[in-house]
Structure 1
Amino acid sequence: MAAMRLEPSGERPALGVCTRVCALKRDGVDRPHRGRGLGGRPAGLPIRSVIGRCGEHWTISPIEDRININCLLVFGGHATIKEKETTAMFNVVRIICLALALLSTTFAHAEWPEKPIRLIHNGPPGSTADNIARLVADQLSARLGQPMVVDGRPGASGTIAADAVARSAPDGYTLFLGTNSVFAVNPYLYDIRYDPFAFAPISQVVAAQNMLVVRPSLPITNVSELIAYAKANPGKLTYGSSGTGSMMHLSGELFQRATDVSLLHVPYKGGQPARMDMLGDNLDLLFGDLGSIPLVLDGKLRALAVTGPEREEAMPDIPTMQEAGIKDYSVMGFYLLVAPQGTPDTVVTKISNAVAAMLQDPGVRQNIVTMGNQPASDATPAYLAAAIKADHEKWGKVIKEAGISVK
């Protein structure tokens, strides 16, 4: 905001209230005055000296003739000086005022971040969300120069955590690490209080695909055989998920629509209980996370395909669904970083750049792979915004067509 000038009319400035005290000596008499700036007096009065405080004590003495001095401290210390008649001493004072104003502005607009940052996520302690959040917090703390505090808010499929962030100040000190389901699926299943698009996208952090596995006792060794078996036995094959509306569930619904088969959905409270039922031959198949890999390697489950567009590095011999003949089938879950809507672009860019640098670190990448995920290929805000929009449209259509409801 530009600094104001006190015009000869004698009116005082309308903006900014300076609590500093200045003393005017007029005709040899001290006249203390608490005003709206140094020299806050009617214009045009003859003065012989001015003593004021503006960060440092400075004195103008003597001042010749009649001088209008207006050194106004307005919202951040911007100062201007208007003069009718000047002397060399006055020019010195002018430089001092401007220097002090610039110093005040520097302190008023210190570079972000100045204090610890809170990272909210929607998982319980020890969960994948919690582990990824702590990895991100450690890495970004080092790169941004401020501590990052991890704050888990589990429950209601992420809506509690997302709502807390949506209501936070858009100052860059509250961030949300969540899954794409919070923005692409929850709006269609729950009565949420937040707008899924009322956030500032920062970066996709990690991506994860599911793996289609079957119990080994079934006479099925590939996707084509699964489709044929399902068509010959409509509604008899059961598939599990970590819950209604979960990515495991939606993967199965998308598969049914892409292949024109009918499967029976069995929701569980998590993916691990579903896998355990498969080991007991109580469940036929699962579009599960990569936690199934050890069981596949041990021969306890049979992997048919991965759901993403590319093969999984840890299981290079397992084809993608598209390679198995299901055109355009792709399901990827991912963890993403967002801030409240209105967070300054400079802050968003700084965080996004830090995430991109983090994802280039070999140690970080290996840590992410060990968790059963993949480092994001693009950490830009634009890429994340497009991914959220695409998933929101895609899963909204599947949920509506399948008539999925959690009520």
Structure 2
Amino acid sequence: MWKSIAVFISIAALSPGVGAETYPSKPIMLVVPFAAGGTVNMMGRLVAEQMGEKLGQPVVVDNKAGAGGAIGAGFVAKAAPDGYTLLLGSMGQAVQPLLTKRLSYDPKKLIPVAMFSTVSNVLAVSNNTPAKSVSELISYSKANPGRLNMASAGMGSINHLIGELFMSRTGANFVHVPYKGAAPASVDLLSGQVQVIFANLPNVLPYAKAGKVRLLAVASEKRDPAIPNVPTFAEAGVKDAVVESWYGLMAPAGTKPEIVKKLQDTLLVVANDKRFISQLAEQGARPYSGSSADMTQLQEKEGKRWGEVIDHSRISLD
């Protein structure tokens, strides 16, 4: 009898459907690799609530900030591949390996699950900046080299990279000032200590609505519905500068395919949920459904694009 029981347990353990049927049976940790206050954190908390409701288990956000997101990403890459430790992934995972040879984790140890949202990136300036348009900003920066400080969430952050892309396209001259996150960078933009930032729209939208900063352009193919009066970069005369920030979930490599699929399918349901779409709109974001395969292709595309910008600008964290 005991031999029969042992055989049954062995078969059950090897059955490919068991993990998906019982998963999740306890709370899931969602690691947000940046501090509270920025767009990545906001996205993580919005999706965690919705995922928890649909999976029947709490999805708990844990902020593990530092090293431009590498600390949080490394934590997940080294976690048990059981579906209970996930990463709020973004463009950063495509860019980090291009910035340093001393990355604390193997990028191949993270696999895409699915994408769920996107936000526009905008060019914002402080109210004490004389320029009222993109062309005026470019002209002023060229006439006054070294006078305009460009804030970012850190060296090699997407804010920084968009700024470098903009300068290479236009010949504008900004002095890069890296911060430890988008939130403190935006605060100094308000005070005028820095004059320029290329930011995720949710980071600066409340300040723009209150008239505390000016938005000069949006790095999207079309105008953003949240700021319909703000022109695109193309409309402002800057070509080939479309940069949308996207967000999704990633899991440790080795996670069972059926668990990844369950997470993917759940996340795609969330991305099309009317209440979730409304919550995103309130923050200046939009739903962006994409499968695990879609996310993999996008990461490869982003890696090639930003690799060229990084090489041109000679950006390195080593």
Is the TM-score greater than 0.5? yes
User: 1:207-218 to 2 correspondence within 5 Å?
Assistant: 207-218=118-129
Residue matched to 1:29: none
Deviation at 1:231, TM superposition (A): 3.2
| Local SS of the residue matching 2:237 | coil
Q: 2:142 maps to which residue?
A: 231
Q: Secondary structure at the match of 1:185?
A: helix
Change (3 A) 1:321 1:112: farther
The question of whether the paired residues in 2 share the 8 Å contact of 1:235 and 1:262 is answered with yes
Q: Matched residue of 1:384: which SS?
A: helix
State the Cα distance separating 1:77 from its structure 2 match.
6.5
The equivalent position to 2:52 in structure 1, one of 136, 141, 147, is 141
Out of 233, 239, 248, the position equivalent to 1:327 is 239
Corresponding position of 2:270: 358
Question: CA offset at residue 287 of structure 1?
Answer: 1.4
Deviation at 1:343, TM superposition (A): 2.2
Residue ranges of structure 2 left out of the alignment (5+ in a row): none
Q: Of residues 135, 152, 156 in structure 2, which corresponds to 1:245?
A: 156
Secondary structure at the aligned position of 2:290 is classed as coil
Contact kept in structure 1, 2:222 and 2:232, CA below 8 Å: yes
CA distance in 1 between counterparts of 2:154 and 2:265 reads 35
Q: Given the two structures, how large is their TM-score scaled by the length of structure 1? A: 0.68
Match of 1:113 among 12, 23, 35: 23
Distance 1:363 1:147 in 2: 18
Which residue matches 2:315? Answer: 404
Alpha carbons of structure 1 residues 146 and 300: separation in structure 2 relative to 1, 3 Å: closer
Structure 1 counterpart SS, 2:107:
coil
- Aligned pair 1:369/2:281, yes or no? yes
* Counterpart Cα distance in 2 of 1:107 and 1:139: 27
What is the percent sequence identity of the aligned residues? 36
Q: 2-side partners of 1:211 and 1:301: how far apart?
A: 12
Q: Within the alignment, does 1:344 sit opposite 2:256 as a pair?
A: yes
CA distance in 1 between partners of 2:273 and 2:214 (Å)? 34
Q: Report the Cα offset of residue 217 of structure 1.
A: 4.4
Alignment of 1:14-53 (within 5 A): 20=2, 37=3
| Deviation for aligned residue 1:346 | 2.3
Provide, for residues 165-193 of structure 1, a one-character-per-residue CA deviation record: whole Å limited to 9, x for no partner. Answer: 21223332322113321332354136213
Q: Are the counterparts in 2 of residues 216 and 301 from structure 1 also a CA contact under 8 Å?
A: yes
Q: Does 1:270 align with 2:198?
A: no
What is aligned with 1:220? 131
Supply the distance in 2 between the matched residues of 1:355 and 1:140 (Cα, whole angstroms): 7
The equivalent residue for 1:261 is: 172
CA RMSD of aligned residues (A): 2.9
Amino acid at match of 1:374: R
> Partner letter of residue 165 of structure 1?
V
Residue number in structure 2 paired with 1:177? 88
Say which structure, 1 or 2, has more relative contact order (CA 8 Å, 6+ apart).
Answer: 2
- 2:70 and 2:96 in contact (8 A); partners too: no
Distance 2:106 2:13 in 1: 38
Partner amino acid, structure 2, of 1:115: S
**Displacement after TM superposition at 1:220 (Å):** 2.4
SS of the residue 1:168 aligns to? coil
Give the Cα–Cα distance (whole angstroms) in 2 for the partners of residues 285 and 241 of structure 1: 9
Larger helix proportion, structure 1 or 2? 2
Q: Distance between the aligned counterparts of 2:266 and 2:219, measured in 1?
A: 29
Cα distance between partner residues in 2 of 1:279 and 1:141: 36
**Structure 1: tracts of 5 or more residues without a match:** 1-18, 21-36, 38-53, 56-72, 79-102
Deviation at 1:403, TM superposition (A): 1.7
Name which of 150, 174, 185 aligns with 2:61: 150
The residue identity in structure 2 corresponding to 1:182 is Q
CA contact (8 A) 1:183 1:388 kept: yes
Give the deviation of 1:279 after TM superposition. Answer: 4.1
